[in-house]
């Protein structure tokens, strides 16, 4: 059975690109435009993998990432961060949030900095799902 992959990104260009890549590789694409919609989709559709942008309106990727990693019902879902933000900046903000909120959230499984070639994206998905 084909696996479900959720793309959470506010940029329609990125969404159509990732959706096309997923379709071409026989995954079932799901889409959400922001963090809040993303979480609703995860609760409803239980995707096998989440591809997550960092900077988005309405509940950023940073917030959704922490929410998923600290919730036992979701923390097994692999997440690919897919963003224009440098990993260093992302980790710095995570560390700041760790200190602020207490506890420690694990680093993302895979962190892809845009631009990403279709093959690279596919390789990253395969690594997590196959």
Q: What is the contact surface with another protein in residues (CB under 8 A)?
A: 11-14, 16-17, 20-21, 24, 36, 55, 57-59, 84-85, 114-115, 117-118
In the block, residue with structure tokens 């196959």: 130
Least distance from C-beta 130 to another protein, angstroms?
A: 22
User: Using an 8 Å Cβ cutoff, are 5 and 27 in contact?
Assistant: yes
Least distance from C-beta 107 to another protein, angstroms?
A: 21
Helix 35-45 × helix 61-69 angle, to 10° = 30
- Judged by beta carbon, residue 72 or residue 117, the one nearer another protein is 117
- Judged by beta carbon, residue 17 or residue 110, the one nearer another protein is 17
Strand positions, DSSP E, the chain: 4-8, 28-32, 49-52, 79-83, 110-113
User: Using an 8 Å Cβ cutoff, are 55 and 22 in contact?
Assistant: no
CA-CA-CA-CA torsion sign (63, 52, 58, 3): negative
- Judged by beta carbon, residue 4 or residue 36, the one nearer another protein is 36
Least distance from C-beta 76 to another protein, angstroms?
A: 27
- Judged by beta carbon, residue 2 or residue 20, the one nearer another protein is 20
18 in helix, strand or coil? Answer: helix
**Cα(116)–Cα(95) distance, integer angstroms:** 25
Least distance from C-beta 114 to another protein, angstroms?
A: 5
């Amino acid at each position: 059975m084909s696996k479900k992959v959720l793309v959470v990104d506010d940029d329609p260009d990125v969404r159509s690109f990732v959706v096309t890549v997923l379709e071409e590789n026989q995954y079932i694409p799901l889409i959400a435009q922001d963090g809040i919609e993303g979480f609703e989709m995860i609760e409803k559709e239980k995707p096998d993998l989440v591809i997550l942008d960092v900077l988005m309106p309405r509940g950023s990727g940073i917030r959704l990432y922490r929410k998923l990693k600290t919730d036992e019902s979701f923390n097994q879902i692999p997440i690919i961060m897919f963003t224009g933000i440098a990993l260093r900046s992302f980790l710095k903000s995570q560390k700041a949030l760790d200190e602020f909120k207490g506890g420690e959230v694990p680093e993302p499984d895979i962190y892809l900095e845009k631009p990403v070639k279709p093959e690279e994206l596919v390789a990253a998905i395969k690594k997590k799902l196959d």
